[in-house]
Chain A
């Protein structure tokens, strides 16, 4: 089969407990951008049990078509029936591009499916473009046009690589959550819905889920926050996070943290910003007592405004901060909270 027979930008529309994950909408937003220069459609692949009703939501966020694989075997995520479902869709419908979220599910599903359909997969992309490969024409080598150029950090964020998959289809990428922009939903938008079931026959590769334990979290998803007040080891103790919580409250924001804080057991993992945590891009990011290891910076450097407070004037966080303050957080933060409250009161009265 010729490469040009593969058409369309496809998105794996991850759902958990029959609720679409935010990454699905982010991927649809990016897929629309990619589909425009290729003059092609955006197709969402929705896999689960009793999920057909979610198709309209995907249409509102930009899907032209939704392929639904609905089967009781697909109730909770398991590698095997899900990989069979997605690989079967790829073999049947032949997408040019297949995007999957780089979530704990997508980073399991993506590699399995790419190996099954014998194509390449680029992990954890932070940028996707359509362009030429090689980027610049090389004499004696064919330059292919309209290729998916997949850009990703590697080496703990020290380097950036742009990768193409010129000779295999689909071109597959997993994409970091929180990086791509979803579109404003179009109320009432409809997509063409196609139901497809490749048949599921359990074998030794179907594992058994004995128990599902959901982490209890009463915190806001830090990826949705407009203002984040993030603390590092320099905060000193779990109790001392109170002064950060007060500042976050005054700003209408939420508290997040660095990996060191999670490793120390001061805060839960879902509040961690960075390469092994979450990528955030709030309007305002306070880095308080955070040295700014590259792994942390990789998760927050796209924030609009970064304010850093650290007593070490050589802390690398000052290399990425818009406004860096060398000083004692214990003295500055409580006074800052009071000043911001006063400022907001003045504006409200004003």
Chain B
């Protein structure tokens, strides 16, 4: 069985965020991690590998330094790594990103593609389903559990909704988007780190993308355009008091709520 896991290097959103003059993100300036939902997706793939002996290929699109997350994935146990990087791909929205990744995946053999549900920088949850759409694959998003029947070429997924879950069966090849809640990702192993250093990362550029038109790539090929981006302006701070006793605290709160007719 061949599994492709799409991963993304994301800024650690606990840190600060910087923008380029055109409103796009200054990714070069940020501390980065492997996106948590993607890491859960990778762990799910590695568990399938442990069970059935699958070949796991990790793929990312980004700046050259996105190779860092591929190294991490190799050290966790992935077999192959592909970095899609090219200046003409920069500034892509989810349409252009999914078009690019689909163009890369068309070069590969696969039974299952796993992506994270969403990345913690954009929180859009769009790229996974859009890759599936470009490749005309069945998609099951929000996976809480993934089981594979290799002989029947079927996957069974526990799919989360707001107030329920569905147990869904799909024919492979298909695409599944993973929730961070899916599992607890393993750590890199010492042997894994050693192997990862030796492992080669394949780098692809624009010319390696299959069946993709230039007009659908990068900033220019993105239908959505940023009109404005800014740090969030929050509502002003209110009052803060440190009462001497619980009684004083209570009479303060009740007084304020009465003042606002909130009782």
Contact = CB atoms under 8 A, between A and B. Distances in A.
Choose among B98, B243, B257, B258 the residue with the greatest number of A CB atoms under 10 Å from its CB.
B257
B242 interface: yes
Nearest to B124: A123
A39 interface: no
A192 interface: no
A162 interface: yes
Contacts of B224: 120-122, 163-165
Contact of B126 (A116, A123, A204, A205): A123
A80 interface: yes
Interface stretch (A25-33, A47-55, A148-156, A229-237): A148-156
Contacts of A116: 133
B160 A155 contact: no
B163 A215 contact: yes
Interface in A277-330: 283-284, 297, 301, 305-307, 309, 313, 318-328
A208 B257 CA distance: 53
Contacts of B233: 160
Contacts of B246: 327-328, 331-332, 335
**Contact-size category for B:** 35 or more
A61 to B, nearest CB: 20
B225 interface: yes
A134 B240 contact: no
Number of chain A interface residues as a range: 35 or more
A251 B254 CA distance: 12
Interface in B222-263: 222-235, 237-243, 246-247, 249-254, 256-258, 260, 262-263
B123 A154 contact: yes
Interface string A331-347: 11001100110011001
B17 interface: yes
A215 B164 contact: yes
A267 B138 CA distance: 34
B227 A115 contact: no
Contact of A214 (B133, B137, B163, B228): B163
B260 A325 contact: no
Interface stretch (B43-51, B58-66, B80-88, B167-175): B167-175
B13 interface: yes
A270 B122 contact: no
B13 A158 contact: yes
A306 B243 CA distance: 18
A323 B239 contact: yes
B164 A213 contact: yes
Given A112-B130, A154-B121, A283-B262, A120 B95 contact: yes
The list of the 5 closest CB pairs from A to B, nearest first, reads: A120-B223, A120-B224, A156-B13, A322-B238, A324-B240
30 contacts: A79-B138, A79-B141, A103-B162, A104-B161, A107-B125, A108-B142, A111-B124, A111-B127, A111-B129, A114-B126, A118-B95, A119-B223, A156-B13, A159-B229, A159-B232, A162-B227, A164-B225, A165-B224, A205-B137, A210-B167, A301-B235, A319-B234, A320-B235, A326-B242, A326-B243, A327-B246, A327-B249, A332-B249, A335-B249, A339-B250
Interface of A: 16, 76-80, 83, 103-105, 107-108, 110-112, 114-116, 118-124, 133-135, 149, 153-168, 204-215, 217, 251, 270, 275, 283-284, 297, 301, 305-307, 309, 313, 318-328, 331-332, 335-336, 339-340, 343-344, 347
Given A107-B125, A115-B130, A336-B254, 11 more contacts: A79-B129, A119-B223, A156-B13, A159-B19, A163-B225, A165-B223, A209-B168, A211-B166, A270-B162, A301-B235, A331-B246
